[in-house]
Structure 1
Amino acid sequence: MAEKMPAIMKTKPAYGAELVEVDVPKPGPGEVLIRVLATSICGTDLHIYEWNEWAQSRIKPPQIMGHEVAGEVVEVGPGVDDLQVGDYISVETHIVCGKCYACKHNRYHVCQNTKIFGVDMDGVFATYAVVPAKNAWKNPKDMKPEYAALQEPLGNAVDTVLAGPIAGRSTLITGAGP
């Protein structure tokens, strides 16, 4: 495996992003290294690229962008026993702490300390990325990577719809998102 890889990085606190060469990351305990097969561009990535007020208050360059991804496991870190090299995965992009009140009560979606790939840490707009094994979802081998990368935003949309009483009601869906 190469020691360096290309990545899309927010290199400075200004409009834009750059294609740079960085070291291939190494998985630590509880993590896997994936070869990125597909990513999708989220509205969050556009905010970061445009360097709007939200991005300025949240992003700490330099940092690899991107968080919606499908990939193949190429290396497994210590303590990972439910994934192996060759597994085809998508990734839940919200990394929860497991320790706050919400997490202790199985309300991970409102974790007080949630971190997000490409926002609070290096993201997945690169050849390889390290992700927590607990955030990996195994995909059927016949699922196209470009579909697998959209599972996370699709999950957000489904969660939003299921947050209220929707059965038997008319709804309006706007925008170009999933």
Structure 2
Amino acid sequence: HGGLVAAGEMTRTYLWRILFRDQVPPETALLLDNNAEFTGTVRNSRTLWQQDFEQPAPGLCGTPALQGGCSLALDAAHPHSTEWVIPARPGQFKWVRASAKARADQMEWDMNRMTQYVIRFRRGNEIVKARTVRLQRALVDAGWPRELHFDVRPPKADFDNVSVTFLYYGTTANLLLDNARLEAFDD
């Protein structure tokens, strides 16, 4: 831990982002899971979905909240959030940006135990394309909230909805999530 090279884990996008650099923003680590990054000027931005977690499912309210009275807190008894489904079709946008405010009490070094933010483009319930990022990769300052985002291009294949969910895989880092959003935009 400490260098930017992550042997066996790097996407091409991550490699180009770190090449010839000795420092990059912590969010760059999300590119280890995602091979797309929009660096241009966002045009025609619109919110497809947002969730402040103020009306949580039983047992999922994490306090003290990052904002408001409640944040999403997943654990062994509650290993996944609701799966939110948003109607969408090809041609409506060129990019999707998934974002959330996140905080963990401590670092999680085991990649397989990290909480995942999952975006799925689907046709009915059939998954056409999915992107998953491990949020703790970018939470290098344990205890401090951080706004995180990742970008996804929609698939070329036909889809009629996008789903969003958060999955817990055993971390003990006490991750809290708040103000999650899915934003569509053009380049």
TM-score band, normalised by shorter chain: under 0.3
Normalized per residue, which structure has more helix?
Answer: 1
Which structure shows the higher strand fraction?
Answer: 2
* TM-score using structure 2 length: 0.25
Tell which has more relative contact order, 1 or 2 (C-alpha 8 A, sep 6+): 2
